Amino acid sequence: MRADKRKKILLIALGGNALIRGNQTGTLAEQLENLKVPIREIARLSREYRIIITHGNGPQVGNLQLQQESCAAVPRMPLEILVAQTQGQIGYMIESTLDSELMALGIVTQKYIVSLISYVVVDENDPAFQNPTKPIGPVYSEEQAAALPYPTRRTAKGYRRVVASPRPLTIVEKREIRELIKRDFIVICCGGGGIPVIREGRSFCGVDAVIDKDLASARLAREVGVDIFVIATDVKGVALHYGQPDQQYLRTLSFEEALNYRNQGHFPEGSIWPKIEAGMQFLGDGGQAASICAIDEIEAAVFGKAGTRIIPS
Active site residues: 16-17, 134, 213, 275
Q: How far is the CB of 145 from ligand ADP (least distance, A)?
A: 21
16, 38, 135, 196: which one binds ligand ADP (CB under 6 A): 16
CB nearer to ligand ADP: give 268 or 286: 268
Is 18 an interacting residue with respect to ligand ADP (CB under 6 A)?
A: yes
- Residues in 45-84 at the binding interface with ligand ADP, rule: CB under 6 A: 56, 58
Q: Which residues of 145-159 are buried (b: 16+ CB within 10 A; e: fewer)?
A: beeeeeebeeeeeeb
Write down the least CB distance from residue 283 to ligand ADP, Å. 19
Residue whose C-alpha is closest to residue 229's, from 175, 190, 173, 269? 190
Does the footprint of ligand ADP cover residue 233 (CB under 6 A)? yes
Stretch that binds ligand ADP, among 1-9, 106-114, 121-129, 232-240 (CB under 6 A): 232-240
Q: For ligand ADP, which is the closer residue by CB, 84 or 250?
A: 250
Burial of 79 (0-12, 13-18, 19+ CB in 10 A): buried
| Binding region for ligand ADP (CB under 6 A) out of 86-94, 109-117, 220-228, 264-272 | 264-272
217 touches ligand ADP by CB under 6 A: no
Binding letters toward ligand ADP, positions 140-179, x by CB under 6 A: ----------------------------------------
Chain centroid to CA 6: 27
Closer residue to ligand ADP in complex, CB, 99/234? 234
Ranges assigned E (strand) in the chain: 8-14, 49-55, 113-115, 119-121, 134-140, 152-154, 159-163, 170-171, 186-188, 195-200, 203-206, 228-233, 239-240, 248-249, 252-254, 289-294, 308-311
Query: Closest approach of Cβ 243 to ligand ADP, in Å?
Result: 7
Q: Which stretch binds ligand ADP (CB under 6 A): 138-146, 149-157, 184-192, 227-235?
A: 227-235
18 touches 297 (CB < 8 A): no
Q: Where does 70-173 have alpha helices with state H?
A: 79-105, 142-146
Please give the size of the binding site for ligand ADP, defined by CB under 6 A.
17
- The amino acid occupying position 221 is A
Q: Which helix (H) or strand (E) holds 263?
A: helix 255-263
The side-by-side arrangement of strands in the sheet containing 152-154 is 134-140, 159-163, 152-154
CB of 272 to ligand ADP, least distance (A): 4
Task: Find the shortest distance in angstroms from Cβ 37 to ligand ADP.
Answer: 15
Which of 59/287 has CB closer to ligand ADP? 59
Question: Residue 17 Cβ, how far from ligand ADP at the closest point, in Å?
Answer: 3
SS3 67: helix
Confirm or reject binding of residue 26 to ligand ADP (CB under 6 A).
no
Which range in 1-9, 70-78, 88-96, 238-246 contacts ligand ADP by CB under 6 A? 238-246
Interior angle at CA 237, CA 231 and CA 241, nearest 5: 140
Instruction: Give, as one character, the DSSP assignment of residue 3.
Output: -
Spatial contact of 185 and 114, defined as CB atoms under 8 Å apart: yes
The β-bridge relationship of strands 113-115 and 186-188 is parallel
Binding site for ligand ADP (CB under 6 A): 15-18, 56, 58, 233-235, 238-239, 242, 266-268, 271-272
